[in-house]
Structure 1
Amino acid sequence: MTKENVLKIRDLAISFKTDNEAVDAIRGIRLDLFRGETLAIVGESGSGKSVTTKAIMGILSGNGYVNGGSIDYTYTDESGNAVTTDLLKLTNKEMSNQIRGKRIAMVFQDPMTSLNPTMTIGKQVMEAMIYHYGYSKEEARKRAIELLDRVGITDAEKRLKNYPHQLSGGMRQRIVIAIALSCDPEILICDEPTTALDVTIQAKILELIQDIQKEKNLSVIYITHDLGVVAKVADYVAVMYAGRIVEKGSIDEVFYNPRHPYTWGLLSAMPDVELNDDELYTIPGTPPNLAKPIQGDAFAPRNEYALNIDFRVEPPLFDAGGSHRVASWLMHENAPKVQPPVALQKRLEKMRKEAGYYDN
């Protein structure tokens, strides 16, 4: 069965003006999101994860600008026709009226930055429905109660009168999810949606998003640095480093058979209560300064497996089979055959067994 591609990002490049120079935050990325599936974008802070999704939403900060590329979004219009539009070519007004909040919605990391402290919860949940669909206040109120109920908020009618500060962090994040779902979007972008929450609430929020995704056949993009979250929710994974995608593929391909040394580092740095390591692994060095031109592979100075060519020529995305693509010269047919560190090999073996990887 052919998958329906709802979002196709091609050769996206984004820079930010600073006082002295331009920072090349996104350096030519290609990504696909399919109907009803989940794409997780992972990487260290500053790798370009959030900038990519802000470009999709049309909410880049004032000093940000797109250097090139396209973001093609395919949706069904009111007449039932399939329409493909490049989101980068829409004006801010067109994005606001046609796309943002209505067809593509976003859940941010900290609910307190998304919620207006001076407005009641009810007013904030109702706002988008009144704006996009012209609901009467009574219609919007009824739908708001249904939404709060759906995201697991008890006493929904009473909560409509509350202000954000009167609710717990977990409840506030559920409110933000209710607002994001209020106009029945086709794509939901979740930018670190559980970072500020404790572990038990995290699991409930992830479960809630998954339930709603199945129910509505939503396409979901997760931005996270938590690989534990990726293992639970993703169909596809894209690993970002210094504004580029260095490895991408299905969850089985990337998570259980990683081929890029940076992905090895991320997986090695995951805490594991069963391992007797005295110290948690850290990737050596620091990310590059994107305001300066990068020669070769941006990860080379931190990569203990770097080849001579890594310092001179940027690697292309090599085909590793299936949907697996890896931007590393180690994938070249003439490169030496390098295995992940022994400790990571043991961890991967354990993860594969736990996930029933060999049962497939």
Structure 2
Amino acid sequence: MREKILEVRDLVITFNTSAGQIRAVRGVDLDLHKGETVAIVGESGSGKSVTTKAIMGILSNNGTIESGTIRYTFENQGEVVTENLLDFSKKQMRKTINGKHIAMIFQDPMTSLDPTMSIGNQIIEGMRTHYKTKKKEAQKKAVELLELVGITDPKSRMKNYPHQLSGGMRQRIVIAIALACDPDVLICDEPTTALDVTIQAKILELIQDIQKKTGISVIYITHDLGVVAKVAEYVNVMYAGKIVEKGTVEDIFYEPKHPYTWGLLLAMPDLDANPDKLVSIPGNPPNMAHEIKGDPFYPRNRYALHIDKKEEPTLIAVSETHAAATWLLSEHGPEYALPVELEKRIDRMKEEARNYVTG
């Protein structure tokens, strides 16, 4: 049995801005089970980071959670409890949940690290705060964590400051800080975006390796489906503040049902595709300051139906693991075929996967 530890239901978040009220998240449902990796993928502005910041209780001051629940199951003083994190104040979240149970790795390590504190002090800070760990014991664990994340000569590195390290090493330090209090959930918000390709691969492998050793659950936020293919078991595709398709990684990559997912897959770099043709999704995401009528993807969707202009589709089940919010799946939907280019792309991905397993 998969043990659910995090359940988000009907989450709605708005922001008050100079341009008016923006509804950034419009009814998100999300599940995370023990030890699994879930990816949230979509363009910038789709609501990925806002959703996870709400889970962490670190929304900016102009953000308001209009409705929804975030139920988290964790051990508290020897007893397993399930709490709605939205009932916690920011102070309670910092004291009880953040770092201790749910930790987060941000996109740019330099914004996560304090330039005035040594690496060692930044790693032991959480242990000293949450568990009142003695300094020597915390320092010993900090050295072990630096070894775990692949930092050479960890004892010497404890004395270093962020500016003395490379980008890849700084991101490893951020991971060590996130793991310092043995959290149950690790949220990775575009953890490799600021790094070069070789370092990206190493960081992804590192997080996977740590997950195998610790059994931690991981949520990845990314716009890069290449990253998703490497790390995720389950995928949530977000568009305009909602999840428009969700399923296993095989469902999303081999049997995609939403035209937006088709566009994301076609936009992935492919060495075997026509080098003269760069595929992109036409148009721009909707302005979330305006009321959305119908399917928000309608203006960019060449497979759109007349009903898309009037009514927004809900998630329609394809299988036990797979669902998509598109009228193409409704009982009155028309017969349709995947774009030819996408069928070829999926065939190549399946072939690569077979070669990877056999090779």
TM-score (norm 1): 0.97
1:58 aligns with 2:66: no
Equivalent residue for 1:192? Answer: 190
Structure-2 residue corresponding to 1:3: 2
- In 2, Cα distance between the equivalents of 1:181 and 1:96? 16
Matching residue's letter, 1:136: K
Partner of 1:208: 206
Q: Does 1:240 align with 2:238?
A: yes
Q: How many angstroms does 1:153 deviate by?
A: 0.2
How many residue pairs match? The answer is: 358
Q: Name the CA distance, whole Å, in 2 between partners of 1:123 and 1:216.
A: 23
Q: Which residue of 2 aligns with 1:115?
A: 113
| Contact persistence 2:263–2:280 (CA under 8 A) | yes
CA contact under 8 A between 2:236 and 2:247: conserved in structure 1? Answer: yes
Gap runs ≥5 in structure 2: none
Cα deviation, 1:151-198, whole Å, max 9, x if unaligned, reads 000010100111101000000000000000000000000000011111
Matched residue type, 2:58 = I
Task: State the shift of 1:355 in Å.
Answer: 1.6
Which residue does the alignment assign to 1:266? 264
State how far apart, in whole Å, the 1-side matches of 2:248 and 2:130 are.
35
Q: Distance in 2 between matches of 1:103 and 1:270?
A: 34
Residue 283 (str. 1) matches residue 281 (str. 2): yes
Please identify runs of 4+ aligned residues in structure 1 that moved more than 4 A. Answer: none
The corresponding residue for 2:252 is: 254
**Does the CA contact (< 8 Å) of 2:103 and 2:178 recur in 1?**
yes
CA distance in 2, matches of 1:88, 1:278: 50
> 2:70 matched to which residue of 1?
71
Quote the Cα distance in structure 2 between the aligned partners of 1:157 and 1:171: 14
Q: What amino acid is the match of 2:247?
A: G
* Pairwise CA distance, 1:118: 1.0
Match of 2:75, as an amino acid?
Answer: T
Percent same amino acid among aligned pairs? 62
In structure 1, the residue matched to 2:125 is 127
Offset of residue 353 of structure 1: 2.2
TM-score (norm 2): 0.98
Partner residue of 1:47? 46
| 8 Å CA contact retained: 2:48, 2:221 | yes
Letter in 2 for 1:333: E
Give 1:301-316 correspondences, 5 Å limit: 301-316=299-314
Give 1:338's aligned amino acid.
Y
* Aligned with residue 317 of structure 1, among 309, 315, 318: 315
CA contact (8 A) 2:41 2:225 kept: yes
- Displacement of 1:20 in angstroms is 4.5
User: CA offsets, 1:285-307, max 9 Å, x none?
Assistant: 10001111000000001000000
Deviation sequence 1:251-295 (CA, Å, 0-9, x none) = 111121100000000000000112223131110010001111000
Distance 1:103 1:324 in 2: 29
Which SS does the other structure have where 1:356 is aligned?
helix
Q: What is the distance in 1 between the residues matched to 2:50 and 2:160?
A: 33
Residue type at the aligned position of 1:23: I
Aligned to 2:13: 14
Kindly indicate whether the alpha-carbon contact (under 8 Å) linking 2:189 and 2:220 is maintained by their aligned counterparts in 1.
Answer: yes
CA distance in 1, matches of 2:19, 2:254: 43
Distance in 1, Cα, partners of 2:296 & 2:144: 48
